[in-house]
Amino acid sequence: MEGDQEEKLLIKEKTSEEESSLVNKVWEESKLMWTVAAPAIFTRFSSFGVTIISQAYVGHIGSRELAAFALVFTVLIRFANGILLGMASALSTICGQAFGAKEFDMMGVYLQRSWIVLFSTAFCLLPLFLFTSPILKLLGQDENIAEVAETISLWSIPILFSFIVSFTTQTFLQSQSRNTIIAFLAAFSLITHVSLSWLLTMNFKLGIPGAMLSTILASWIPNIGQVIFITCGWCSDTWKGLSFLAFKDLWPVVKLSLSSGVMLCLELWYNTILVLLTGNLNDAEVQIDALSICLNISGWEMMISLGFMAAASVRVANELGKGSSKAAKFSILVSVLTSLAIGFFLFLFFLLLREKLAYIFTSNEEVANAVADLSPLLAISILLNSVQPVLSGVAIGAGWQSSVAYVNIGCYYVIGIPVGMVLGEILHLQVKGIWIGMLFGTFIQTLLLIIITYKTNWDDQVIIARHRVNRWSKESADPERITSNN
């Protein structure tokens, strides 16, 4: 009997130690995750807040201006944002894994290469902003709204180029878990934007030019601060100055950037197509206004998920670079479950509020009622968005962008959009039917990403990451290397 009791006590002590060890592991991983996620979430809230503040002021100018602003920022800006953010995420893979492997010297060169690739891409996107009106008319949008949208799009060109510096410098700093400066600059930018928007739009009555000028300044203020922080001594280990090596071996960066851009662009442009399809329905102005409000509310929650996406990509890339597959898997689990818990709380919150939030953006009762009708779909969208971006962050950290791009094409554009068009136009469910179909595509995509992540051999991913870091470091260190080998 005494032996049995001693054995039971030993089992209890062992179980207690394991539970304590698990709690400590979760706590330590959570601290590492939140070191990246918290500033990233705050920064994205601030950046998204700049757009929301601009939209709020434009909405008080007129409903046509609000619809035009919604079209530009949910179609053109979201499209450009998706491409540039996606291409910048290639830098997250490279810098994150290099930092984990302690290959600090090359990180500044990777940043410069990303600048070259992204600025070239931005110039290719310029025609979309220069010829907005005919493009929107060709897509079936209202002519009066399209004319106002062209004015807004021309003012948006400096914002397009601000994305490049913003995304790349933030990624560079996040890979090193140096995020405090990013959050500080974002907060300063947001405060400045609130003051300038009121001054230029409401006080001086400058209308759309006033709102857009304030948005441009708010977009560039953090960029200038981040570049100064990186280049003036605060990142001495990872920034060694401008280098001609930035112009060498660009093709591997281009390939990874393109696959990254396709992956995230397909995700971010998904909601854009929802807006475009809505523009072809009856009573388009009210439908677009209501849907844009719902998407902006969803966008607020998406900023949290994108913060976790950044954290997941950094943690996975760092751990793969260090050679720890177990730590990479554990970081995935903690990130996904934390984001899901927050998403479930917000799911309930927005399901209960319904049309009440609509009055922040508009005083039109018809638009508010339309928002109330879409609220259940908004809540479901928020729940799905709490998981899917985090899994995309895992893909970025591991360098799976090409594979996930194919998943996105199948789930979003082969399943989601066709189902949505059938429900919306053939079964006459209007915008609700389109959104239901597209949410179904997102659900399928999320399931596939979960399966892919679960079945991945993470020991193999460590080998792949080490090979990538070693190959790129050796290639770049050889000044006589001929790039045609890639």
* Domain tally, the chain: 1
Give how far the C-alpha of residue 40 lies from the chain's centroid of Cα atoms, to the nearest Å: 10
Per-residue model confidence as pLDDT tens digits over 405-434: 888 889 888 898 899 888 887 887 877 888
Full DSSP string of 305-331: HHHHHHHHHHHHHHHHHHT-HHHHHHH
Q: Please report, in angstroms and rounded to a whole number, the separation of the first and last CA atoms in the chain.
A: 71
pLDDT above 70 (res 3): no
Q: In whole angstroms, what is the distance from residue 53 CA to residue 73 CA?
A: 13
Tokens 């984001």 sit at which residue? 339
Q: Using CB atoms within 10 A of its CB, is residue 339 exposed (0-12), middle (13-18) or buried (19+)? A: buried
Asked, for residue 68, whether it belongs to a domain, the answer is yes
Question: Tell me, what's the pLDDT at 254?
Answer: 84
What 420-425 contacts at long range (C-beta under 8 Å, 24+ apart), as own/partner pairs, is 420/274, 420/277, 421/277, 424/277, 424/281, 425/281
Domain assignment present for residue 15? The answer is no
312 in a domain, yes or no? yes
CA angle 339, 30, 47 (to 5 degrees): 55
Name residues whose C-beta falls within 8 Å of residue 164's C-beta, 6 or more positions apart in sequence. 84, 88, 115, 118, 119, 122
Q: Is residue 382 part of a domain?
A: yes
**C-alpha gyration radius of the chain:** 23
Among 299, 310, 301, smallest CA distance to 335 is for: 310
Tens digits of per-residue pLDDT, 336-373? 999 999 989 988 888 887 767 777 776 777 777 777 78
- 81: in domain: yes
Residue 311 lies inside a defined structural domain of this protein: yes
Domain region containing 364: 34-476
Q: Is residue 246 part of a domain?
A: yes
Confidence class for position 220, pLDDT limits 50, 70, 90: very high
Residue 86 pLDDT class (50, 70, 90 cuts):
confident
In a domain, 212, yes or no: yes
Q: Which of 336, 343, 339 is nearest to 316 (CA)?
A: 336
